[in-house]
Structures are given as structure tokens and as C-alpha cells.
Amino acid sequence: MKEWKSKMKIIRTIAEMQAWSDEKRRSGATIGVIPTMGFLHEGHLSLIDTARKSGADTIVVTIFVNPTQFGPNEDFDKYPRDFERDAKLCEEKQVDAVFAPSAAEMYPADSSTWVIEEKLSRGLCAKTRPTHFRGVTTVVSKLFLATLPHLAVFGQKDGQQARIIKRMVRDLNFPIRIVISPIIREPDGLARSSRNKYLSEQEHRNALSLSRGLNLLKAEIEAGATDLKKLLADLRKSIEASEGIVDYIEAVDAETLEPIERIGGKMMFPVAAYFGKTRLIDNILVEK
Ligand code: AMP
């Protein structure tokens, strides 16, 4: 293996990011971008591997806690941040550039343009977070136009978000391939998330009801269960028995996110629930 000497660039401005990517593109590079809000964990790092496997030879990780995707009573101020550690992890993963702009760099004070997807952004998480996805689609568009990638990787962990980004890219003709990468979990099954840091030990244990319940649901479908209502009700019961407050549990088409009435095709079962004050999301894909 050839020795890798770090040349990782940390870029703070849009102009410098565009110039860097432009030069890489001219020299024939295939750029893969991984948009994140930092406080990186194995889930984020797996997206780097997926980008490489998908053909990217030049990796840009963006780290930006995007204020416009947080509601007024959400955790923007206390969202965990540790740039030094993130930069070190990126360096170890041989990332080529980290784009970490300030909020002022990303949003001019009189910024007045939004990118809004109007269909997939209506249900599921949007019910409790009504302005969340316009923040996501706007910032991801801006990050794409700053980093000029050939492909971008998003996690199945945020299943709704990934479908919305795919739809946006298709609808607006972004010349970018979107790749969705599987959910990475802790050894005990909890989906990795920067927000897991908020959980007490007891809440963490209780939150295992999410992955446990979803795995059971999948196993039951694979074993021939057909009563969708009962499967969803059982999942709810098991989460509530572990002191989770369910925000939503749904059965949807894995691409269109339309609710499904009966089992069949490519399905996604997304869940959101509170454990203590922390809202966690998880989902499972099932094909029948
Ligand atoms: P975030 O920093 O939470 O905005 O996440 C940045 C990206 O990492 C998104 O595409 C997420 O879906 C993805 N991601 C976060 N957690 C996981 C995980 N446990 N497994 C896979 N991808 C993840």
C-alpha cells in the first residue's frame, strides 16, 4: 500500500471551495461529497467508504450545523460540536478536503431564497418538524454548488431526507449521482447518531426497543405475517413498554414514501420516538 501523506485541506469559504473543486474536476478527478453536521461517528465515516466504492477518488466532507433546518425550540445551540476531532477522523480516512463554512458565509444576512420540495417533505418527520426539510434542501443545494461533486452520499438512517434529496436532484437537474448508504448501528443495535450523546444509560437501553422492534417486524413479514395494522401496533406497544413516546410509526413505499395499505414491494418502516427529551429516528427496509 502506498504511504498516504496528509494533504487534507480545510476550506472555510465558498469561493475557495469552488476553485478547489474546479481544479480537481479539470484534472480528471471524480469528486464525492458527504454532507454532515459534524460530531462524526462510524455512520458518517461509512459514507466515505461508500463514496469510494461508488467511484469517487476525491472525497470532500462538509461539516456545517445548518441553522435553517432546526425549528425554534430545537437543539441548534446545544447540538454537539467538536471540529478538531472531526478533522482528525477525516484525516485518518484520507479525506481530501473538509468544507466547514461559518453560518455567515453560507447565509448572507438578507438571504431570501429557498429550495422547497413539496411532496415527500410533507409527511413523517415534517409533521413535528414543519420547516426542517426546506432547510435541508436549501443547504444541500448550496453545499452542492459550493463543492461541485460528481456524486453525493446520504445515509439510510435519515430515510426520508435521502428520498427528498434524490427527488430534488432529479427535479432540478443537478448533475450529481445520489447514493444511499446503509444504517450503521452500535453493537447493541442502536442506530448511530450524534444525538445518542444526549441519552442517559437507561434511555439508551430503552431506545434499543426501536431496532429490536423493527427487526422483529421484518422477521415477521419474512415469515409470512400479513396483518400490517397489527405489526405496527405491536411495534408501538414494544416502544411504549420501554418508555418511548412515539412520534410516528408508518409503513410507506420505500421510494415514494406514500403510505401503504398492505404488505408487498419495497417497503420502508420509519419510526420516530422520544426517549426522555431526545427524539430518535430509525427505520428498516423490507422487500416482499
Ligand atoms: P448528520 O450529521 O446527522 O446530518 O448526518 C450526515 C449524514 O450521515 C446523513 O446523510 C445521515 O443520514 C448520515 N448518517 C448519520 N447517521 C448514520 C448512521 N448511523 N448510518 C448511516 N448513515 C448515517
Alpha helices in the chain (DSSP H): 14-26, 42-53, 83-92, 103-106, 132-147, 159-172, 201-222, 228-241
Q: How far is the CA of 141 from the CAs of 54, 114, 203, 229, in angstroms?
A: 21, 9, 35, 38
Which is the closest atom of ligand 1 to the Cα of 185?
19
> For residue 284, what is its C-alpha cell?
428498516
Report the pLDDT value the prediction gives residue 4, as an integer from 0 to 100: 60
Which is the closest atom of ligand 1 to the Cα of 158?
12
Distance CA 267, CA 11 (A): 40
Task: Tell me which of 44, 132, 150, 204 is the catalytic residue.
Answer: 44
Q: Which residues of the chain have a pLDDT value below 50?
A: 1
CA 275 to chain centre: 20
Kindly report the pTM of this predicted structure: 0.97
Report the pLDDT value the prediction gives residue 194, as an integer from 0 to 100: 94
Residue from 40, 41, 44, 76 whose mutation best tests the ligand 1 pocket (most atoms within 8 A of CB): 44
Alpha-carbon Rg for the chain in angstroms: 19
Q: What residue ranges line ligand 1, CB within 6 angstroms?
A: 36-37, 43-44, 46-47, 154-155, 157-158, 181, 183-184, 191-194
Report the pLDDT value the prediction gives residue 214, as an integer from 0 to 100: 98
Report the pLDDT value the prediction gives residue 132, as an integer from 0 to 100: 98
Distance CA 177, CA 166 (A): 9
Report the pLDDT value the prediction gives residue 6, as an integer from 0 to 100: 77
Report the pLDDT value the prediction gives residue 5, as an integer from 0 to 100: 67
